[in-house]
């Protein structure tokens, strides 16, 4: 029987199925959303609900942080809000923080990117640094590629007449199921202040990938703008695979089928 309690800040497209999976593995789960409208849904899945707005924290945060591990899975880039959140975390019994970030923190520089490469100076990268530089916290940063999975088939993203720029550039994507299993491995992995890139093994071109996705979605093949001269990046997942001993469930993006969405 697992006696750990996990607090998930953000029970949306990633956080809710993650909570359901962790409960199936006998973790206790606290789930935070901004709206009371989701409380009944969370309770129906065995999740203890908390209503938290990180931009305006109140006493509710204290109860929410009474757990072993915090997973931050919200899209907010409010630096001030995260400074306040970290102040509350420091007063809590939390042993570990897992912060869900993005490979968008890396600039495109026409090469393969590892965790040793420099990030940009945008708000997301600054929030990462808030966590990693705090010696009172044990933080793992998971930098996910583009998120795909149920109700998120990239083949449905294209509006009529929209042209896809740089069609010969590689993509960096990850399926929801891999996100969930990687987070589970990270919960179990004992390491301080770690950064891991997480995306599928393969990096087909935008032309290949979105052509395949629109085919699965029974949409028209997108139009391509071949005039773009922008830079690309290929995200390496080698560190993650080695440290977590992880094999991707959806390693080959071109092998995705309709049931995967």
- Checking if the pLDDT of 27 tops 70, the result is yes
The answer to the question of residue 71 being in a domain is yes
| pLDDT of the residue at 195 | 98
Give the residue numbers spanning the domain of 15.
5-150+174-199+236-248
Query: Which residue intervals of 47-94 are DSSP H helices?
Result: 60-64, 79-90
Mean pLDDT of 190-194: 87
| pLDDT of the residue at 173 | 98
Number of Cβ within a 10 Å radius of residue 124: 19
Q: What angle do CA 180, 67, 137 make, to 5 degrees?
A: 85
| pLDDT of the residue at 191 | 82
- Checking if the pLDDT of 57 tops 90, the result is yes
How does the average pLDDT of the chain come out, rounded?
95
The answer to the question of residue 57 being in a domain is yes
Confidence of residue 76 (pLDDT cuts 50, 70, 90): very high
The answer to the question of residue 155 being in a domain is no
- Checking if the pLDDT of 7 tops 80, the result is yes
pTM of model > 0.85: yes
**CATH number of the structural domain spanning residue 188:** 3.40.50.720
The answer to the question of residue 228 being in a domain is no
| pLDDT of the residue at 219 | 86
Give 135-146 pLDDT, tens digit per residue. Answer: 999 999 999 999
Helix (H) or strand (E) holding 16: helix 15-24
Q: How many angstroms separate the most distant Cα atoms in the chain?
A: 57
Give 210-220 pLDDT, tens digit per residue. Answer: 999 998 888 88
The two structure tokens encoding residue 210: 């979105």
| pLDDT of the residue at 1 | 58
| CA gap 102, 23 in Å, rounded | 25
Give 153-163 pLDDT, tens digit per residue. Answer: 988 887 666 78
The answer to the question of residue 205 being in a domain is no
- Report how far Cα 104 is from the mean position of its chain's Cα atoms: 11
| pLDDT of the residue at 159 | 66
- Checking if the pLDDT of 68 tops 90, the result is yes
Q: How many domains does the chain have?
A: 1
| pLDDT of the residue at 157 | 80
Mean pLDDT of 100-109: 98
Q: How far is CA 243 from CA 70, 99, 239, 251, in A?
A: 21, 17, 6, 17
Better-scored residue on pLDDT, 191 or 207:
207
The answer to the question of residue 18 being in a domain is yes
| pLDDT of the residue at 163 | 84
Q: How far is CA 191 from CA 134, 185, 198, in A?
A: 15, 12, 17
């Amino acid at each position: 029987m697992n006696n750990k309690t996990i607090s998930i800040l953000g029970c949306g497209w990633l956080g809710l199925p993650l909570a359901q999976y962790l409960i199936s593995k006998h973790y206790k789960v606290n789930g935070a959303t901004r709206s009371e409208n989701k409380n009944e849904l969370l309770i129906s899945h065995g999740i203890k609900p908390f209503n938290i707005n990180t931009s305006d924290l109140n006493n509710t945060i204290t109860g929410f942080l009474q757990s072993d591990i915090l997973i931050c899975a919200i899209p907010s880039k409010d630096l001030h809000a995260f400074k306040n959140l970290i102040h509350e975390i420091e007063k809590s019994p939390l042993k570990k923080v897992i912060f869900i970030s993005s490979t968008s923190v890396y600039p495109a520089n026409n090469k393969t990117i590892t965790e040793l490469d420099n990030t940009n100076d945008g708000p997301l990268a600054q929030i990462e640094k808030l966590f990693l530089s705090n010696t009172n916290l044990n933080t793992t940063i998971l930098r996910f590629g583009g998120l795909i999975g149920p109700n998120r088939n990239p083949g449905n993203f294209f509006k009529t007449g929209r042209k896809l720029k740089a069609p010969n550039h590689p993509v960096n994507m990850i399926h929801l199921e891999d996100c969930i299993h990687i987070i589970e491995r990270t919960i179990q992995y004992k390491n301080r202040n770690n950064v891991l890139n997480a995306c599928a093994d393969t990096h087909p071109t935008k032309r290949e990938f979105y052509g395949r996705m629109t085919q699965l979605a029974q949409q028209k093949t997108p139009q391509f703008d071949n005039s773009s001269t922008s830079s690309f990046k290929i995200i390496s997942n080698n560190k993650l695979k080695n440290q977590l001993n992880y094999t991707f469930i959806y390693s080959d993006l071109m092998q995705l089928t309709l049931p995967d969405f």
